[in-house]
Amino acid sequence: MSGTVPPQPPTSAAGVSRWQDLSGLGERLAYPILLVLGVTDSAAYSLIGPILPTLRQATGSTDTTMSLLAAAFPLAMLTGFAVAGRLAHARRTGAAMLVGLCCLLVGSLTFVITTALPIMFAARAVMGVGSGCLWIAITFRTLQYWPGQEYLCMSRIYAAYSVGALVGPGLATLGGVRLPFATYATVVLLCLPLVVALPTAKASNVTRDLTMIRTRGFWTAAIAIMFAITAIGTLDGVLPLHFATRLTQSQIGLAYIATAVLIAVASAVAGNTRPGAALTLGGIGVVGGIALAGASTTVPVWLCALALIGLGAGAAQTGATGILLYAVPTERIVTAMVVWSQMGILGYLIAPAVGGPLAAWLGFQWLGLLPLGAGIVLVASTIISHPHRTPRRER
């Protein structure tokens, strides 16, 4: 990793002055580079959605099989989280980023060269491992660079991930399977030198602490992120198969681009509100939007539903992040962040793994039961342990 490590600032307001303390070109570009990496990582999620109907037709598969293909990505991410968590604890987040990008590159290129469905499952899983590594690494670099500003900075990271949710469908509008994945592989390749340009993070006392995952505040945050990401999983892994009855791959991609813009805006705006309020408003949008999308068969109503889902998902995931940062001190967050991220991806996994068969058996009009069930679990956990009862760490 290039760049020099500046001396520890003499002031106790280290979190506030961290950005000013960074020096040199690489240091000044740290935030933009992390945002670009976030966009690239998120595009790996959202790329598959508009392509699923084309893959279904090309392989002669069922809706359930395509939903399971989408689920292979988040399932493999759990492994990526564990790998990156160990590297982050050893202060090797740069290595985790490189591993993540290489996995994304290999997986996306595999989609370019094969038409065999079993190999596609394996390729999607490899991409999931890479995405898990990249997310943990980006998160910990953000926490290390700007302690004391975690909620605001992470809300912007989420906004970058929301922009990536725009890029993925944009690539899908190129048509087919090979060209979108080949273009994405090129983007990943261009990101490799950016990782090398990142400055080394200052030495920090961020460490693992198992006791943090035993607190009620943490589990409220964990269930909150699972609920929020369930919306993204439904958007990527289930609803495209419903929308394909009236929309082409390119049209679905364009609709998802507009949705991603709303997710990005909601993620950034929510960083200026209380986490509980952001989560509540986001939850209403998620449940209402998915229920409306599944119950309707008309394009105008689908567009309204996508707007609700976009605004709701963006606010909910930022709110869940804020609850976590209120509940767990940053210097003891390694284990909590890994488990919290795993809970979020569990929501992304549940959406296609449960939502796909649910839609196949009962019809898409019942798809709203999925976020409603997750929302009931979230409300119950919030009643048991209100997030604001957890005292905030002194900065």
At 382 the pLDDT is: 63
Mean pLDDT of 78-92: 81
- 216-237 and 30-46 helices, crossing angle to 10°: 60
Under DSSP, is residue 256 helix (H, G, I), strand (E, B) or coil?
Answer: helix
At 7 the pLDDT is: 31
Mean pLDDT of 161-176: 84
Find the angle CA(106)-CA(313)-CA(336) to the nearest 5 degrees.
70
CB of 46 closer than 8 Å to CB of 160: no
Is pLDDT at 149 greater than 70 in this prediction? Answer: no
Task: Give the pLDDT band (50/70/90) at residue 208.
Answer: low
Find the angle CA(277)-CA(286)-CA(215) to the nearest 5 degrees.
55
At 8 the pLDDT is: 32
Is pLDDT at 115 greater than 50 in this prediction? Answer: yes
Task: Give the pLDDT band (50/70/90) at residue 19.
Answer: very low
Q: Which of 83-92, 109-118, 121-130 is the least confident region?
A: 83-92
Is pLDDT at 128 greater than 80 in this prediction? Answer: yes
Is pLDDT at 134 greater than 60 in this prediction? Answer: yes
**DSSP annotation of 146:** S
At 12 the pLDDT is: 37
The residue ranking higher by pLDDT, 208 or 86, is: 86
Is pLDDT at 359 greater than 60 in this prediction? Answer: yes
**DSSP annotation of 11:** S
Tokens at residue 125, please? 């899983």
At 222 the pLDDT is: 87
Task: Give the pLDDT band (50/70/90) at residue 86.
Answer: confident
Mean pLDDT of 303-330: 87
Judged by phi (left if over 0) then psi (alpha if -120 to 50, else beta), residue 363 lies in left
Q: How far apart are CA 191 and CA 26, in angstroms?
A: 14
Tokens at residue 339, please? 């488990």
**Domains in the chain and their CATH numbers?**
27-389 (1.20.1250.20)
Tokens at residue 112, please? 């370019």
Candidates 129, 150, 196; CA nearest to 331 is 150
Under DSSP, is residue 179 helix (H, G, I), strand (E, B) or coil?
Answer: helix
**Burial tier of 172 (Cβ tally within 10 Å: 0-12, 13-18, 19+):** buried
Mean pLDDT score of the chain: 80
Tokens at residue 264, please? 């990005």
**DSSP annotation of 328:** S
Sign of torsion, CA 345 348 351 357? negative
CB atoms within 10 A of CB 23: 12
Candidates 119, 256, 103, 235; CA nearest to 177 is 119
Alpha carbon 74 to its chain's center? 10
Is pLDDT at 307 greater than 70 in this prediction? Answer: yes
**Residues in CB range of 242: below 8 A, 6 or more apart:** 293, 294, 359, 364, 367
**Residues in CB range of 105: below 8 A, 6 or more apart:** 130, 185, 188, 189
Q: How far apart are CA 342 and CA 335, in angstroms?
A: 11
Q: Which amino acid does the sequence have at 280?
A: T
Find the angle CA(92)-CA(42)-CA(102) to the nearest 5 degrees.
45
At 391 the pLDDT is: 38
CB atoms within 10 A of CB 352: 29
Q: How far apart are CA 298 and CA 241, in angstroms?
A: 14
